[in-house]
């Protein structure tokens, strides 16, 4: 299959901008024969959505998401509306035979994610979750180095996701801080990313977790006025025992003053180690203990050579890409998978696996007990 493919997007704010850019950029930058057409964007506010459509090149704007799903010229349904809308839209889209790309976290909890993963499996259509950090070239490259056997048996995985934007008590209770809409706080928003990176990078499963969480500011203004109790966690930390014996620890917070997008991970293995920091996303740090002792050291690898993942599509060595390109890379991979009829990851089963870990984390934070993680998805049970 090649030629053009129609995309319909539901949601039009920050993530709508990131996704629109991806659909616009993937054509010229990637060689894939399949090119997307930006057919329709959907948002609840008709006027704003229409302006967004004009600005970003969507052919038309609608306010009812069902119109997107019913549109015969739409093959890919891209969901970037708030978490509480994911399940209903995704299931309907899959049932309508659409290919679905859903923002992370897949859902508000494992129960919702289960329904979505089941619908995906039943539909037989390609589906993906926008865990875009898998497509940071340095992260994809980390996986490549692991696959090359450069790290060996892993002893430790530690990952942080540190932000500070809700430190200020005057920040209102946006939807990301609303339990009904978001499902959880930093757990769904930030831990989801680093749990997915563990699932992506580690060849050991997360087996059990012990967690603690905190709400540091108990009450905030609602954007629409009035004060409300904050019910979602500002910070969440957990320990993890892996199936192969490794020890992990994870932390996400919006109260780490001075850290803006401090998504870092370090993997320590018997042959080497890797370190990544999203705030310096061009680099991967690599330590190789097989080298001659006197020249051993952490190597700062700028991941911008043609031989690095995705980079031959962009510029030349020395020219960094940034945040937005991770979405474009994922869009390119999805189009290539559609074109080549191959698998696409992360899929809804990956989203479900992540959600199972998050559910265990939240349960542990509530009960104070270690909680086993059930990573079996329907697919595996079958």
Among 276, 304, 310, 348, binds a copy of itself (CB under 8 A): 304
Supply the minimum distance, in Å, between the C-beta of residue 247 and a copy of itself: 5
Tell which positions 126-155 bind a copy of itself, by CB under 8 A: 141, 144-145, 155
* Residue 37, helix vs strand vs coil: strand
Among 307, 343, 380, 381, binds a copy of itself (CB under 8 A): 307
Tell which positions 21-60 bind a copy of itself, by CB under 8 A: 21, 24, 27-28, 55-57
Quick one: which segment of 42-50, 97-105, 176-184, 305-313 binds a copy of itself (CB under 8 A)? 305-313
Q: Residue 191 and residue 184: Cα distance in Å, rounded?
A: 10
Q: Residue 159 and residue 139: Cα distance in Å, rounded?
A: 13
Give CA 344 to chain center in angstroms: 14
Are the C-beta atoms of 135 and 190 separated by less than 8 Å?
no
Supply the minimum distance, in Å, between the C-beta of residue 54 and a copy of itself: 9
Q: How many residues bind a copy of itself (CB under 8 A)?
A: 92
Residue with tokens 């928003």: 189
| Bridge partners, 102 (sequence order) | 79, 129
DSSP H or E stretch at residue 185: none
Q: Residue 193 and residue 198: Cα distance in Å, rounded?
A: 9
Cα torsion 170, 176, 182, 184: sign = negative
Supply the minimum distance, in Å, between the C-beta of residue 127 and a copy of itself: 26
Q: How many CB atoms lie within 10 A of CB 24?
A: 17
Supply the minimum distance, in Å, between the C-beta of residue 256 and a copy of itself: 4
> Which residue number, 8 or 248, has a Cβ lying nearer to a copy of itself?
248
Q: Which two tokens stand for residue 27?
A: 């054509």
Among 122, 319, 372, 374, binds a copy of itself (CB under 8 A): 319
Quick one: which segment of 88-96, 123-131, 198-206, 364-372 binds a copy of itself (CB under 8 A)? 364-372
> Which residue number, 121 or 259, has a Cβ lying nearer to a copy of itself?
259
Q: How many CB atoms lie within 10 A of CB 88?
A: 15
Supply the minimum distance, in Å, between the C-beta of residue 368 and a copy of itself: 5
Supply the minimum distance, in Å, between the C-beta of residue 185 and a copy of itself: 13
Are the C-beta atoms of 211 and 253 separated by less than 8 Å?
no
* Residue 341, helix vs strand vs coil: coil
Q: Residue 234 and residue 5: Cα distance in Å, rounded?
A: 40
Q: Which two tokens stand for residue 148?
A: 């090359």
Binding of residue 239 to a copy of itself (CB under 8 A):
yes
> Which residue number, 127 or 210, has a Cβ lying nearer to a copy of itself?
210
Supply the minimum distance, in Å, between the C-beta of residue 357 and a copy of itself: 16
Tell which positions 244-303 bind a copy of itself, by CB under 8 A: 245, 247, 249, 251, 253, 255-262, 266, 268-273, 278-283, 286-289, 293-302
Binding of residue 310 to a copy of itself (CB under 8 A):
no
Q: Residue 350 and residue 366: Cα distance in Å, rounded?
A: 25
Among 65, 133, 238, 348, binds a copy of itself (CB under 8 A): 238
């Amino acid at each position: 299959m090649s030629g053009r493919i129609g995309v319909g997007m539901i949601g039009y704010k920050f993530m709508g901008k990131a996704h629109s850019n991806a659909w616009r950029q993937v054509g010229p930058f990637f060689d894939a024969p399949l090119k997307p057409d930006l057919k329709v964007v959907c948002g609840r506010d008709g006027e704003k959505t229409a302006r967004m459509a004009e600005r970003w090149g969507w052919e038309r704007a609608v306010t009812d998401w069902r119109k997107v799903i019913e549109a015969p010229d739409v093959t890919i349904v891209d969901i970037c509306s708030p978490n509480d809308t994911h399940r209903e839209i995704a299931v309907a889209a899959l049932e309508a035979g659409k290919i679905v790309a859903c923002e992370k976290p897949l859902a508000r909890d494992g129960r919702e994610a289960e329904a979505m993963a089941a619908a995906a499996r039943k539909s037989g259509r390609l589906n993906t979750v926008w865990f875009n950090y898998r497509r940071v070239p340095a992260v994809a490259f980390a996986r490549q180095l692991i696959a090359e056997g450069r790290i060996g048996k892993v002893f430790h995985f530690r990952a942080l996701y540190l932000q500070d934007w809700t430190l200020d008590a005057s920040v209102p209770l946006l939807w990301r801080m609303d339990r009904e809409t978001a499902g959880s706080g930093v757990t769904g928003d930030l831990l989801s990313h680093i749990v997915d990176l563990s699932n992506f990078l580690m060849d050991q499963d997360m087996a059990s977790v012990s967690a603690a969480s905190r709400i540091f500011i108990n009450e905030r203004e609602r954007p629409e006025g009035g004060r409300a109790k904050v019910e979602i966690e500002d910070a969440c930390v957990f320990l993890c025992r892996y199936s192969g014996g490794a020890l992990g620890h994870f932390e996400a917070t919006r109260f780490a003053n001075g850290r803006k997008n401090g998504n870092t991970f370090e993997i320590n293995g018997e042959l080497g180690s890797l370190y990544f920091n999203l705030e310096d996303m061009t680099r991967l740090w690599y330590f190789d203990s097989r080298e001659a002792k006197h020249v051993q050291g952490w190597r700062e690898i700028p991941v911008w050579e043609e031989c690095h993942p995705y980079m031959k599509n962009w510029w030349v060595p020395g020219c960094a890409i940034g945040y937005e390109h991770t979405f474009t890379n994922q869009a390119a991979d999805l189009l290539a998978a559609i074109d080549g009829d191959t698998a696409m990851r992360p899929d809804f089963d990956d989203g479900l696996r992540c959600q199972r870990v998050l559910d265990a984390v939240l349960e542990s934070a509530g009960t104070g007990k270690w909680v086993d993680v059930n990573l079996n998805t329907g697919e595996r049970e079958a």
